A and B are shown apart, each in its own frame.
Chain A
Amino acid sequence: MSAPTAPPTLVPKLEDGTGEELEHAATRADSRRGALLALPGFAYLFLFFALPLGIVFVYSFATRSSTGRTILGQWSVDSYTRLIDPFVLQIAWRSFALAAAATALCLLVGYPFAYYIATRSPRVRGLLLVMVMIPFWSNFLVRTYAWRVILGSDGPVSRLTELVGIGQTRLMFTSTAVMIGLVYGYLPFMILPLYASIERLDFSLVEAGRDLYASGWEAFRRITWPLSRAGVIAGSILVFIPSFGAYVTPEILGGSRTTMLGSFIVRQFLAARDWPFGSSLSFVVMIAMLVAALVYFRVGGKTL
């Protein structure tokens, strides 16, 4: 009455080849289609991205004539040994310190902010999110410029301190100004991934924590914070990377004593005409960023 495994009389026979063969043929055809579709984008990125990257690498081993011309053919590692020049290291350290401080500040302000938004009712949340998106999408240069207006010697901050009687404040061209600019510019990059991970959080877990005798702070430290760590990592990387290589912000708000790596690299091309050194610098900066980004992809996943 029952019908278990295959009766041996029935030998499977396909009129048109075996499934395996045809499946392979279909896979091959699919693979051709995919490659064809990827080709234009790939060709473009190869020609206008991968190749230029290779050229930078090659130029970093070139030498520079006394007139500033780059000589290809006389290869050397001079531009790499010059990276450990104290002057360069000082700029690198300053970039790192400013970027790290800006990242920390963004996290400190951004986390409670993102938490606040993520725990509003859906209607309010949508509205607040739009209010974060507007500065996020607004022109970066203009937003940085606004701070130059504010911090300038006849700007409102200075006027206020003058009125109070402390005298003019001289914030412009200081590292404080650069830091404010970096935080202002990149805070949305911190808030959005943080928001995404906090909003996704199942708050009944927090309730379970409270039920198991955790205080509010302990519940945060042991439950909320670890569960939102992906957002913390993503946000930190997204703030740190552009801050470390920043050019526009220190150029507008900083001065000669706040030079960061980005400006220093640009100077090698537009002023000093030392292309090999500029190349090695930008190559090393890029590698540093890649390492940071890889950590992000490993730990935080590909959000945003």
Chain B
Amino acid sequence: MNAPDVATTSAPPRQGQAGSSPAVELVGVTKRFDDVIAVDNVNLRINDGEFFSLLGPSGCGKTTTLRMIAGLEFPTHGSIRIHDEQMSLRPPNKRPVNTVFQSYALFPHMSVRDNIAFGLQMKKVDRHTIGSRVTEAVQLVRLGGMEHRRPKQLSGGQQQRVALARALVNHPQVLLLDEPLGALDLKLRKAMQLELKELQERVGITFVYVTHDQEEALTMSDRIGVMDDGRLLQVGTPEEIYERPATRMVADFIGETNFLPIVVTELDRARIEGGQEIIIGGDGTPGTKTTLTIRPEKMRITAPREPVPEGDNQLLGTLHRRVYLGNALALEVTAGAVRLRVRQGSAAQVHRFRDGDEVAVLWSPADAAVLED
């Protein structure tokens, strides 16, 4: 379970050029504001062409990390490289990255076109090239016909596209996005999620995406870094983060889950505190007290006397409460000292059970994860 190294954690789904350098590399990056440590010794490699999300609750340091990559903050310690080039203390206007701000930060006194052209003008790109690239960017985000409007005359979704075009038009090596969908309503947000992901695949630019919305991170990202309290807790693909959370915080923050306090007895055995023995994933250290986490939908409910498949765990308990969710059924089972939340996709399977019935909860050890803390 213990990862060998951050750098080799899971192969990137798509690689830019073969053997290319990491798009962004943070080594021992710490940011202190007066007495507060906003980012605490973060080590991270973001691969070229990857859609990488920094996920965490507000105040966890994800935005500060992004701002340090952008150059809007300088790290107190540590180094930041972009494609092997030292960036730590380089001002933002000299970095090959662009940012989509949370508030969009569109210049209210300029037209859409002038907003998009701004970066190229500052780089002193020739007028002709600016013209064609701006037109291209406008097409890319499908804002044709809006070029001469002011930002205030656009809807939230349109403003968001302008912010995107204004950054992408510069062909940055890395695009940084700070909760860009936060201001949009739910329906628009869902549509924009798909659109952003599609856009990223089309332009092939590395995206670093900051969000506190776990669902958003899971749907869009190639890999996710979960942060809390300034520290990077886990980096992995959405599957890894969801299925095998490394810490209690990660498991708790992403989706619903059950926590079982256990004491490891053998390499692949553990005892639930004050309860029965179960089979675990297989890399426990005997004698350690730890926690097992398992998602509600990974467990099944059967009658107590039904046969248990080879290698599965079975806990006996009392059905406590059932909540109908439309496409699923949420159940609560009390087994000894622990209370388990179970989710069954097909309501028919558990239809026969009533509150107060004796039931068995089954799960495969492969679906549970032993936490490190």
Contact = CB atoms under 8 A, between A and B. Distances in A.
Q: Using C-beta atoms within 8 Å of the partner chain, give the interface range for chain B.
A: 20 to 34
B76 A23 contact: yes
Contacts of B29: 12
Given A12-B77, A14-B79, A18-B76, 11 more contacts: A1-B3, A2-B240, A2-B244, A2-B246, A3-B5, A3-B235, A4-B3, A7-B5, A10-B43, A14-B86, A15-B79
Contacts of B2: 2
Contacts, number: 86
A20 interface: yes
10 contacts: A1-B1, A1-B240, A2-B1, A2-B234, A2-B372, A5-B41, A14-B78, A18-B77, A20-B76, A23-B76
A4 B234 contact: yes
A52 B247 CA distance: 67
A4 B246 contact: yes
A12 B79 contact: yes
A22 interface: yes
A10 B2 CA distance: 17
Contacts of B27: 10, 12-13
Nearest to A15: B86
A73 interface: no
Interface residues of A, number: 21
A3 B79 contact: no
Contacts of B231: 5
A16 interface: yes
A152 B194 CA distance: 78
The 10 A-B pairs of least Cβ separation, nearest first, read A12-B28, A2-B246, A12-B78, A3-B6, A19-B75, A3-B235, A2-B234, A22-B89, A3-B3, A6-B41
Contact of B236 (A2, A16, A17, A22): A2
Given A22-B74, A23-B74, A4 B79 contact: no
A278 to B, nearest CB: 49
Contacts of B41: 5-6
Contacts of A19: 74-78, 88-89
A26 interface: yes
A166 interface: no
A38 interface: no
Given A10-B43, A11-B28, A16-B89, A3 B74 contact: no
A237 B282 CA distance: 75
A13 B28 CA distance: 9
* Residues of A contacting B: mostly: loop
A5 B246 CA distance: 11
Contacts of A11: 28
Nearest to B89: A22
B254 interface: no
Contacts of B5: 3, 7
B335 interface: no
B77 A3 contact: no
Contacts of A16: 86, 88-89
B141 interface: no
Contacts of B9: 1-3
Given A1-B244, A15-B86, A19-B89, A6 B77 contact: no
Q: Which of A2, A4, A17 has the most chain B CB atoms inside 10 A of its CB?
A: A2
A84 B244 CA distance: 83
A293 to B, nearest CB: 31
Interface in B187-235: 231-235
B74 A26 contact: yes
Given A12-B29, A19-B77, A19-B78, A1 B233 contact: no
B93 interface: no
Given A12-B27, A12-B79, A7 B43 contact: yes
A4 B244 CA distance: 13
B82 to A, nearest CB: 14
A5 B28 CA distance: 10
Contacts of A6: 28, 41-43
Interface string A20-51: 10110010000000000000000000000000
Given A1-B3, A6-B28, A11-B28, A20 B232 contact: no
B10 interface: yes
Contact of B79 (A7, A13, A26): A13
Contacts of B43: 6-7, 10
A7 B1 CA distance: 15
Contact of A3 (B75, B88, B89, B234): B234
Contacts of B88: 14, 16, 19
B89 to A, nearest CB: 5
Contacts of B28: 6, 10-12
A250 to B, nearest CB: 47
A4 B10 contact: no
